[in-house]
Amino acid sequence: MRHFLNLMPHPPELLRDLLTNAARLKKAHEEGKDPNSLCGKVVGMVFEKPSLRTRVSFEAGIAQLGGTSIFIPGSEIQLGQRESLADFARTMSQYVNGLVLRVFRQETCDEVSRFASVPVINGLSDISHPCQAMADLQTIEECFGTLDKKTVVFVGDGNNVARSLAVACGKMNMKFILAAPKGYEFEKDFLQRLSVKVNNADIVETNDPIAAVKNADVIYTDVWTSMGQEAEREIRLKTFEPYQVNEKLLSKAPKHVRILHCLPAHRGEEISNGVLEGPASVVFQQAGNRLHAQKAILEYLLGGK
């Protein structure tokens, strides 16, 4: 059974195929020629956390490909509480053709996938956000015409979005730099697993955002306090202050640099309003690409292309 739980196990060739198909699906959509590749397919979506982009782009994408989605708030299902994840997975597999899960713990996704007989897609966990990373790659490729050897500098927290992007960059022969405060870098264990999966992955960590962006093609940031970390907000606001992506930091980067942010953004915290709204920003193109990147993932998993 194929799943899309994180990018680590997937070969570069698959990511390449997904990106090519995402570009094809984007063109088809813009021409009003969405294929009917999910005709008769039903996708169950269980979200334990809030969402705009992931929920709506999945629901819209499934509908545009001729399928149907059923959205169920996490509070309704109470994953792992009302009944075991194994019982949930085996029951749901008989009703739907695929599952999208947004969860507090990556283990929830992994455990459901062990018992599901339909594909499971991770729509964000505490550890990873693989669908976001696919839309990020699509956007970077649109900006530069290629991914090869491009340098992505993630400024901020070594979080779920950063981890998936680092894996994506490693797989696609790109350079990834994480500029994070001490204590918020990637875990040793994550870097170890990545080096096993990707030979010569070009991943660098630093505590100096100014030095990091010197040769950046892309500067990427995300919120300092992710969903589930609200109790740490005050301390994080202080710790991350020198890591704001603002006009001063942008002035240290090459002229051609592009700004990405997975959104939602906290203007005045991780990014200044001027940079988010400025000419280097492609954040809404990036948000739009969630639709197309996920359609490619759905076609791959649910029997289309």
What residue numbers does the annotated binding site for L-ornithine cover? 160, 222, 226-227
C-alpha torsion 52→53→56→60, nearest 10? 170
Find the binder of ligand CP among 263, 266, 280, 285 (CB under 6 A). 263
Which of positions 249-268 make contact with ligand NVA (CB under 6 A)? 262
Q: Which stretch binds ligand CP (CB under 6 A): 15-23, 83-91, 93-101, 258-266?
A: 258-266
- Residues of each annotated binding site: 78, 102, 129-132, 160, 222, 226-227, 262-263, 290
Q: Which C-beta is closer to ligand NVA: that of 89 or that of 162?
A: 162
Q: Is 29 a catalytic residue?
A: no
**What would the x/- binding string for ligand NVA be over residues 111 to 130, using CB under 6 A?**
-------------x------
Which one of 37, 64, 226, 294 is in contact with ligand NVA (CB under 6 A)? 226
Q: Is 26 in the site for ligand CP (CB under 6 A)?
A: no
Examine the residue annotation and report whether 16 is marked as an active-site residue of this protein: no
Which one of ligand NVA, ligand CP, none interacts with residue 226, CB within 5 to 8 A by kind? ligand NVA
From 10, 29, 53, 129, the catalytic residue: 129
From the CB of 226, what's the least distance to ligand NVA, in Å? 3
Does 221 help bind ligand NVA (rule: CB under 6 A)? no
Name residues contacting ligand CP, limited to 188-247 (CB under 6 A). Answer: none
The stretch among 46-54, 61-69, 103-111, 149-157 that binds ligand CP (CB under 6 A) is 46-54
What amino acid positions are annotated as catalytic residues?
Answer: 102, 129, 132, 222, 262, 290
